[in-house]
Structure 1
Amino acid sequence: MSKIQLPNGIQAVQARYTYQEISDYRDNPLLEALPPILSKSEVIQAMAQYPYFDPSEGQMDAHYRFHLIQRLFSSFFQPLPVHLDLESRISRLIRQGYISRNPLAAHHNESLIKGYEDIVSGRIALSQNTTAAGLTIIGASGMGKSTTVNRILHLYPQVVAHSIYNGQHFNQLQTVWLKLECPHDSSVRGLVNNFFAQMDAILGTDYFAKFGKNRRLSAQSLLPVVSQICRNSCLGLLVIDEIQNLNARSSGGEQMLNFFVSLSNTLGGIPLIFIGTPKAVSVLQSEFRQARRGSGQGDLIWQPMKREDRNWHLFLQGMWEYQWLRKPVPLTNELSNCIYEQSCGISDIAVKLFVMSQIRAITSGKEELTTELITQVAKESLKLVQPMLNAMRSGNPAKIAKYGDINTINIEGFVTAEQNKVEVSALIDDFQKQRQEQKANTEKLKTNAIFRLSILGIEEKEARSSVEKVIASSSGQLGLKELVQKAYKLSINVSDDEVELSGKYRPQNDLRRIVQQGKEQGISAIQALTDAGFVQTEFDLGAV
């Protein structure tokens, strides 16, 4: 999607409308401007992220490798079946929420007028559409809830700029999604101000200055304002993270719960997603209306991975190849069981343990991962979470209940649509095989590019460095010609404009330069190459 600069300096994606296979999604610019609905394999491709890795980096000095290992924190994401399930639910939520809010329909303008009247009168009127769907995601800290939701949300543009639809002028900014964090003090005003500030950041508005700083306006009186802003911006999805910060027994927590119920009723079809740790369950269930409101796409209870689960194998296998050690070891059942035992299947802890164990292997001089080393690192470096992990290992509900953030709860009556995990696992396996093939093709591409650069007079070491830098910085697949061109420019440290100058930046032994100079002197190409020593015309027959 192409981006455009709005008059307020904010960037938005220019709306491009596509035909919708589902009839419910047709003739609605808000739906037709969304990215296509992805298949499972497309979701895996879009969400997967693997850091750049060259096995030769394992031979670098320790102080360099300490930096390289950090790539796992910023550049590693292994899609799992739960991620595909969540992507599908969010995709449905956004689209279903827009069905009843077609800006071209007559009732849309009516809702804007009614919203303005609500602001003037200060009353909160229920929307005619009070069936907004929702989703509640509950899971222990470190499971990747927020990270996954963020990756899914960024599959969609946050702001879409409409101008012409079906030949008619349609000037509208569409905010596809907005994500807020529940304040630690359960303050409704804090959440509302966060909403104003986030809207200002993405739309270039001044809502916070107009309403957030006005202390004469109560949080409750701002509800019609929030609702109207959502209507004006065609908000598609509102995500509230850290919902466990609410305290149902405090006045602030109760006010926040009532605010959410009122907000859902007045927004008119805008779906809400709540994300929190198991502590949030008692908060949400204390208010039946809100518990019902968060169940439009079912509750998602994000449990830690099981030792025998296929998900654990996929996750660990995807991470294991990134060993910046001089003695990388293959993943064995013994090593897999060891990391599981020390992390209890919590992905965040598993990644951190994998990183810390590599660092310990480097500093100790052992340069390889062993169960003894991993166990020792966990014992020394995970002291703060050991009480919680021990509670999980015990399986004792009373002990687990002491630590709400890791409580592996099971809500009665919970029903979720099970996906075909075998099919999903097979897709992920195929994707990983494709990655291995891509890596092999990349190595072949690098070799060919380095050879061609050497012909152009670039030293092999410099050529290899330039090729690897170009590949690492590229967001897509490069062809050989494009790779050689970019690496050549990088090697001779010139801009695109400069490299176009005929031969000016070509090295002395560049064959093209030699031929060009010969042509300028009236010498044939073969003679110019002969004079330069690249073509031998006399042979010592006695040596044959």
Structure 2
Amino acid sequence: MSDNPYLDSVPEELSKSDFVQQIKSTPDFAGVPMTNRIAKVGELFVPMDYMYTVYDLLLRAIRTTYLTITMLDTIRQIQGLRQESVSSFATEAESGSILGVPGVGKSSTVRRCLSLIPQCVTHSEYNGKPFYKKQILHLFVECPSDCSVKTLAYSIIAAVDRAIGSEYFRFAAKQSRLSASALVTQVKIICLNHAVGVIVVDEIQNAIQTAVHNKQVRPLIKFLVELVNETCTSIYFIGTSEAEQLFCRQEHLQRRTRGLRLLPLRPDAGYRQFLEQIWQFQITEKYMPLTDRVANLIYDHSGGIPSYIMQIFQQGQAQTIQAEREQMDEKLLKQGIELLNLSVPKKFPTGISLSDFTVSEVVSEPAALPEQSRQDELTQGKPQVVPRLYANPRGRKAVIRNNLDLIELWKRKQETEKTVQGMENLGLIERGLP
């Protein structure tokens, strides 16, 4: 017991093996007609090593909230908000972001991680004394595409109602003339009343795109920063790398939005292990072996993005069933790929590959940017980019050149003066008089 009912309500962290067992999902094809099995393949969820890191981040964020503020602090903070006075007793809660390429599984992973943590705890007593409180450990909010400060605030209020069955949204909606600042104050009071542990804001790039378009960047940033500072509620942002551009340009958000920057799998052991796990769930009559050629084909068209890999796997089987074939083959797989018309970026923002979380078989490359590059990124607001990887070598095959070829001479010398000297020795050039 910690003499803090909020903190005592947070469950102990699961071991990695227990975590994997609880979040994985495998389809059951028993008694399901062949044509309906393709949809059930979509129920397959393969745990990856990075997901446990996300789970750990979210659970620590919740604990940080309850270590930051006590019950007495909550009462004082609510009174301060109602009287529009600023309180300075509370320290800052944790905040961060999980950004990455679309399709790497950010939102689905966060949802599954949060499903392992109770969302609402109803207190009636604590340490033998009456204590009535509906505590909310986490909220998941999806940013509307036309998001503004008011609509984001309404989304948070609606998420509270879904969690505890309250009617805050109905009361707030009745006040049609409620200003954005007044609505934001209501959100802060609600978060304090129910001791919200962490708010996860998904698709944050929508809010940023709208804010930039409507020139509302500063009000949006002010709202998000105040929510962290004045309620001591931890916040995590989920979205694509587009959000990083604004995060880097705004000083208030640079340190508050640090976190994971996820890139697709590399064509390595981590990718092969993921593919082998889903490959066993073929629904055709005969099993198609997973060869290096097939694995490379799928990687080159999916870019190592897990969502695309799953789509190719499903569509390949769909083409097999429609062709009334017993076994999927490379030709049918290619037909499925053409039908999907997947578009993989040729360059990705700098980050950490999903493969880097596999420590047993994969040798990780440094994920951090050099200090100077990082400073340039923060100064210019333009994240660095890296080219995407391919399993099969791209471009023309290397040409075998003669030893007297100028390019070969340069490769051997690597210095202009030495190259010129070598060409002179071979009688390929003559130096003029100075």
SS of 1:375's equivalent in the other structure is helix
SS of 2:216's equivalent in the other structure is helix
Name the residue aligned to 2:236. Answer: 273
For residues 126-165 of structure 1, the aligned pairs below 5 Å read 127-165=88-126
TM-score in terms of structure 2 length: 0.77
Are 2:56 and 1:95 equivalent residues in the alignment?
no
Name the residue aligned to 1:257. Answer: 221
Are 2:335 and 1:376 equivalent residues in the alignment?
yes
SS of 2:145's equivalent in the other structure is coil
Contact 1:97 1:236 in 2 (8 A): yes
Name the residue aligned to 2:17. Answer: 41
Name the residue aligned to 1:322. Answer: 281
For residues 307-318 of structure 1, the aligned pairs below 5 Å read 307-308=267-268, 310-318=269-277
Superposed CA deviations along residues 181-216 of structure 1, whole A, max 9, x for unmatched, are: 222223111111112222222222222222233232
Contact 1:338 1:374 in 2 (8 A): no
C-alpha spacing 1:364/1:87, structure 2 compared with 1 (3 Å)? same
Contact 1:127 1:265 in 2 (8 A): no
Contact 1:160 1:175 in 2 (8 A): yes
Q: Residues of 1 paired with 2:265 and 2:169: CA distance?
A: 42
Contact 1:130 1:264 in 2 (8 A): no
Q: Residues of 1 paired with 2:190 and 2:219: CA distance?
A: 21
For residues 409-448 of structure 1, the aligned pairs below 5 Å read 409-410=349-350, 421-422=359-360
Superposed CA deviations along residues 151-174 of structure 1, whole A, max 9, x for unmatched, are: 001111111111122222111111
Q: 1:288 aligns with which of 229, 235, 251?
A: 251
Superposed CA deviations along residues 256-303 of structure 1, whole A, max 9, x for unmatched, are: 2221122222112x11000111111112223221121123xxx10111
Are 2:5 and 1:67 equivalent residues in the alignment?
no
Q: Residues of 1 paired with 2:96 and 2:274: CA distance?
A: 25
Shift of 1:126: 5.4
SS of 1:76's equivalent in the other structure is coil
Shift of 1:127: 4.8
How many residues were matched structurally? 358
Higher helix share: 1
Name the residue aligned to 2:49. Answer: 81
Superposed CA deviations along residues 352-391 of structure 1, whole A, max 9, x for unmatched, are: 1111110111111222222222122212x122x33xx2x4
Shift of 1:314: 2.5
What amino acid is aligned across from residue 251 of structure 2 in structure 1? F
Name the residue aligned to 1:445. Answer: none
Contact 1:260 1:290 in 2 (8 A): no
Are 2:158 and 1:211 equivalent residues in the alignment?
no
SS of 2:255's equivalent in the other structure is helix
Name the residue aligned to 1:355. Answer: 314
Q: Residues of 1 paired with 2:294 and 2:361: CA distance?
A: 27
Contact 1:133 1:294 in 2 (8 A): no
Contact 1:244 1:279 in 2 (8 A): yes
Q: Structure 1 unaligned runs (5+)? A: 1-18, 20-25, 393-399, 401-407, 426-544
Q: Residues of 2 paired with 1:224 and 1:86: CA distance?
A: 30
Name the residue aligned to 1:428. Answer: none
What amino acid is aligned across from residue 348 of structure 1 in structure 2? S
Q: Residues of 2 paired with 1:303 and 1:186: CA distance?
A: 26
CA RMSD of aligned residues (A): 2.4
Q: 1:302 aligns with which of 248, 262, 268?
A: 262
TM-score in terms of structure 1 length: 0.62
Percent identity between the two aligned chains:
31
SS of 1:249's equivalent in the other structure is helix
Runs of 4+ in 1 over 6 A off after TM superposition: none
Are 2:74 and 1:108 equivalent residues in the alignment?
yes
